[in-house]
Structure 1
Amino acid sequence: MLMKKQFFKKTMLVLTLFMLSSNAINAAVSLPSFFTDNMVLQQKSAVPFWGESDAKSVTITTSWDKKTYTSKVVNGKWNVVLKTPVYGGPFTITINDGAVKTLNNILIGEVWLCSGQSNMEMPLEGWGKIDNYKEEIANANYPQIRLLQAEHIESTLPLSTLKVQHDGWNVCSPKTIADFSATAYFFARKIYKEKKIPIGLIHSSWGGTLIEAWTSSGALSTIHDFDAQIQAMKSEVDANALLKKYNADMAVWEKKVSDSDKGFGAGKAIWAASNFDDSSWETMKLPSFFDSNGLGNFDGIVWFRKKVTLTANDTDFTLSYFADDDDMIWVNGNYIGETKGYNVERHYTIPAKFLKKGENTITIRVFDGAGNGGVYGDENFILKSAKQSIPLAGNWKYKIGADIKDLPVRPYLAQGQNRPSAIYNAMIAPLRDYKIKGVIWYQGESNAERAYQYQTLFPLLINDWRDQFKDKNLPFFFVQLANYKQQKQEPGDSDWAELREAQFKTLKVSNTGMAVTTDIGNGEDIHPKNKQDVGGRLANIALAKVYNVKIDYSGPLYKSYTIKGNTVILDFDFNKNIKARDDTLKGFSIAGSDQKFYWAEAKIVNGKVEVHSEKVPNPVAVRYNWADNPDGNLTNASGLPASSFRTDVWAGITQEKK
């Protein structure tokens, strides 16, 4: 009898242990991708913390206050709200649902969301290679700065899970910083050096993206500019109809482009003929972007021709290069091939039968729809065979075949990540309940062609994100577009200036700040390498507006104007010690009622700028730095540049574009 009782007890004990171990296995807690070791939680806040489990309840214990929170699991999900103290650490969070999971090396500090397109995304190394990148990487020993890198993902519907790189949060070090946002890093570094508060950076950016892709469909539906595209994301039928219409419109437009191309005649490439006389054509060095070589801001078709000499033609030749956007190539009038896509390397084979011993003519036709255009790449631009290598880098003859300005507006269909709300759904929506301190933003280049619309879209995004993050006063600091493209000799229109104007006007939204960068760009590089100053200027704004540090953070900002006789008098905010950075003020233009602008003389009188020109006896408007690549020099005690501006409200070149 005793043996039976002992056997029964042992059996029950084994069964109990088995059941407990089984429950522990089944009850393994699951956390979102951004709750990991090394993370930063927002200080002095009520921080949502959540996950999934198969257990009935979960307990969470925080080491900073030894407090334990309990949550019932409902439909597999649980959530609590953690109370965080003033900054410090490292701490741990222990989650127990039958199985114990501990998150280690957690800091309490300030969390900033860093977003935008390629200039925010630009890493210290990799494709970025910012100024002094090797030294900057070697010195990036900041264990109190933590990094979370979001993957590029788009979605038709809002997601609850953020896909991240490197298994979650990482400690900032030379091993982890190289592929992270340079602007975000320098922003955090300056704040940390000043305040010694741990900083968590959530970087969620994607190069070449549009602002509407980062905005929720709910917000976009209030302005109706994207209704058809939003509906198409919800319905395959609508999406197919939209694509069909786009393809039809595109075919019509491409036919108009081809018909307007002076290089074609009666369906033949007359400018590609070997005996065509190109002696009157101008010259340009290739490889290069033609925007930076005499054709500033040009979009359309450019033909290039070059004569080369072969010692023999008994074998095929090959030729490789990049072109932006699309190209066609002929040799001695013989069509060789064509390729579409600005980032596709061309690989052409030129049959021996199309070549001859002695002089041969290569013709390349390039179509550029927006941004840079040309034949680009390194100097390894060579016509090669098994026996000969002929360098093609150098002077080519060129002539414009068609200017896109003379054509109807090109049809547009947002696809992939640039569909309205597509990136918001996947790269912002999952973060909505992660408590953050503020946002830094660098975007706008991709929206420059619709700059006037950006006046609506940018404030819309800011207020949308504030709604999503449940913080009506969420700090939102952004970078105004840098100087870029070829400098113009005379005042004129500029979509980049209009985009900067839209950004300037967004300062009317409360608790925003703008870092002006028109003095640190690069006319030939849309990705300027000086990201130290960009991050530093954003940090100055945050230090002044969020951390109550007395620091200069803005150059002069235009406020108002008056006219006295032939002089326009301009008044500014941030006008302490307003001055020219060097010698005489420049960058100002002036116009009368005919809306024709001339360069103007400008001088500072009693803290204001007085502008006039002998060519405009009755002025009505002044513009400053109104160009893609301006060179104005107005500053103040901070040494920071003044924002570009205009006093007029005349219709710009982007006003009707949507």
Structure 2
Amino acid sequence: MKKLYFLVVLFLPFLSLQAQVKLSSIFTDDMVLQAEKEIKVWGKAKPSATLFISLGKSTTTVKVDENGKWMAVLPAMKYGGPYQLKVEGDGVVILNNVMLGEVWFCAGQSNMRWFVRDSNNKEEEIANADYPNIRFFVSPLKGTHEPQDEIKNVKWEVCTPKSIQMKTAVGYFFGRELHKELKGVAIGLIDISYGGASITAFMDKETGEKSKQAEFIKTYTGNFLKAYNEKKAKWDENPEGKPPFYPENVMTAMSYNAMVHPLVPFQVRGAIWYQGETNAWHPERYIDMFGEYITMMRSVFQNPEMPYYFVQLAGFKGRKGAKRNLGRWGNFRLAQEECLKFENTGMATAFDVGQDYDIHPRNKQEVGRRLSLLALKNTYGKKKVIDKGPTLKSVGFKGDKVILTFDNVAKKLVLTSGENVKGFLYKIGNDYEEVEAKLIGKNKIEIPYKEGELYYAYENYFEPNLYNSVNLPATPFKAVISKPVK
């Protein structure tokens, strides 16, 4: 009997711990909650218990369901803090230094994950990264076959010279611009990017299975899996070095399951997206998949108007010695431009900041700045902000010349070097030829007339010289040139 009593006494603390209230892993000290939206807080506790939740002066109660899960909803709050977030039940959880501000997902592949310490002017950028109200939450690189509820061993971090070094550079420079232009409002940046990832990995299972490109996705991911299985079989026979990498950053839903699903339904203002290098071989299919992906994200996070601002791929020649591969990334950039048909999207052109033989351009400052212009104008209503470079408005004809008229020139079109505009190509039949293009007015360019397809910035990589007066590059385009029949 004494032994049984002793075991019960030992077991009681364990039962007590199991019953204590727990918050989901996204909720930690130093976090940023989205202002001006309902605040959803959730976690686990003893089934049927009643919990009391408070954030500043805002309070509510919630009853835990029979499975030990709970979710509370606090009313929207204005910018401010620091606050305490307190949850009381069988025990109490208190989070400190909680801010109400602007929260953004930073999504995509390696160019989004790229660290500040590996970007231009790293010493200066790191030394100056003292922003107590810019905070980061970084999902670890992981993929799982089933949706996860938690992300383990992660917490929000305040931006300091020490913490910034291995944080998303594009996200940081984007967030820093917002922080400055929004007069010091707290900025939360949630990094859900994964190097080398295909967009398929960020779709949930249902979206992948119901996609217009479902058969392609099945074949595409199947090829990666087949290659892995072949490598794994060889490694099993001779297990030297590291085992082959399972393509969790390509297989449908695996990155979503591990890195995104645990965050649902955390409220954010929007998302920035730098992805596409892995999918550049399939531009037309990408349009469908991108539209389906952002629709899914808006649905699962119950944020139907969530803005998605994405980066048009930077210039990249390929490996040194590679033959000219005209049109591969050119076609993908055109497909990305077509993605602007989806509501509440915007595109930051970046082909001019690329590096010839490096797929990871180091000038992440400019990429982040251009994304911030989209957010400032379209999300935060700063109408005077010019958020894009020159875009083709119309094609006209004058004798044996073609007159191209552009929008979004600010005050005027600007050539940053030379006398002629670089980057124009005619496609006549199967051949491409360079075009002599001249600037003839504040918003017009003149080229010789030829019947065929006209491309601008179609090369995988080149150094353009056509900008508007606020130093934003002209957007790549394709136009069919043919005089109207009289």
Q: TM-score, normalised by structure 2?
A: 0.85
Residue range with higher mean Cα deviation, 533-542 or 448-457: 448-457
- Residue equivalent to 1:484: 316
Offset of 1:611 from its aligned partner? 4.0
Contact 2:22 2:44 in 1 (8 A): yes
Q: What is the correspondence of 1:420-459 to structure 2 with a 5 Å cutoff?
A: 420-459=252-291
Alignment match of 1:159 (pick from 140, 148, 154): 148
Moved over 6 A (4+): 18-23
Q: 1:534 to 1:95 in 2, by over 3 A?
A: same
Selected match of 1:581 from 416, 420, 428: 416
Whether 2:74 is the aligned partner of 1:86: answer no
CA spacing shift, 1:558–1:91, aligned 2, 3 Å: same
Shift of the alpha carbon at 1:34?
A: 0.6
- What is aligned with 2:251? 419
Residue 563 of structure 1 deviates from its aligned partner by 4.2
Which residue identity does 1:156 align to in structure 2?
H
Q: How many angstroms apart in 1 are the aligned matches of 2:432 and 2:12? A: 82
Task: State the Cα distance separating 1:515 from its structure 2 match.
Answer: 1.2
**Counterpart residue number, 2:113:** 121
Pairs within 5 Å for 1:206-605: 206-227=194-215, 243=226, 415-485=247-317, 493-549=326-382, 550-576=384-410, 577-591=412-426, 593-605=428-440
Taking structure 1 as reference, are residues 227 and 588 closer, same or farther at Cα in structure 2, changes over 3 Å only? closer
Matched, 1:204 2:39: no
CA contact 1:491–1:599 (8 Å) conserved in 2 = no
Tell me by how many angstroms 1:606 deviates: 4.4
Q: Which runs of 5+ in 1 are unaligned?
A: 1-17, 234-238, 252-339, 345-412, 650-658
Shift of 1:216: 2.1
Are the aligned partners of 2:39 and 2:73 in contact in 1 as well (CA < 8 Å)?
yes
Per-residue deviation, residues 282-306 of structure 1 (Å, max 9, x unmatched): xxxxxxxxxxxxxxxxxxxxxxxxx
- Whether the aligned pair in 2 keeps the contact of 1:212 and 1:220 (CA below 8 Å) is yes
Asked if the contact 1:414–1:420 (Cα under 8 Å) also holds between the matched residues in 2, the reply is no
* Residue number among 120, 129, 134 corresponding to 1:140 in the alignment: 129
Native 8 Å contact 1:449 1:495 kept in 2? yes
**SS of alignment partner, residue 303 of structure 2:** coil
> How far apart in 2 are the matches of 1:482 and 1:583?
22
Q: Distance in 2 between matches of 1:228 and 1:205?
A: 23
| Amino acid paired to 1:545 | N
Contact map agreement 1:458 1:503 (CA 8 A) in 2: no
Deviation for aligned residue 1:454: 1.6
Instruction: Give the 3 Å change call, closer, same or farther, for CA 19–118 of structure 1 in structure 2.
Output: closer
Question: What residue is the counterpart of 2:27 in the other structure?
Answer: 35
Partners of 2:467 and 2:226 lie apart in 1 by 49
Q: Identity across aligned pairs (percent)?
A: 34
Larger Rg: 1
* Counterpart in the other structure of 2:119: 130
For 1:450, the aligned partner's letter is: H
CA distance in 2: counterparts of 1:87 and 1:560, whole angstroms = 43
CA distance in 2, matches of 1:508, 1:537: 19
Distance 2:311 2:378 in 1: 16
How far apart are residue 512 of structure 1 and its match? 1.2
Matched, 1:637 2:469: yes
1:507-540 C-alpha deviation (Å, 9 max, x unpaired): 1222111111122211021111111111111111
CA distance in 2, matches of 1:565, 1:221: 53
Count residues in correspondence: 459
Residue deviations 1:233-254, cap 9 Å, x none?
9xxxxx89x8499969xx9xxx
**How far apart in 2 are the matches of 1:56 and 1:572?**
63
Q: 1:200 corresponds to which letter in structure 2?
A: G
> Aligned partners of 1:639 and 1:232: how far apart in 2?
39
Residues 19-69 of structure 1 show CA distances to partners (whole Å, capped at 9, x for unaligned) of 998975442112211111111111011121111112532323324224232
Report if the CA contact (8 A) 1:29-1:51 is conserved: yes
Amino acid at match of 2:148: L
Does residue 175 of the first structure (1) align with residue 162 of the second (2)? yes
- Structure 1 residue 107 displacement after superposition: 0.4
Segment drifting more, 64-73 vs 537-546: 64-73
After superposition, the Cα gap between the structure-2 partners of 1:84 and 1:245, relative to the gap in structure 1 and judged at 3 Å, is closer
Q: 1:575 to 1:61 in 2, by over 3 A?
A: same
Change (3 A) 1:466 1:572: farther
The superposition leaves residues 478-524 of structure 1 with CA deviations (integer Å, 9 ceiling, x where unpaired) of 11111111699x99732111111111111122211111112221102
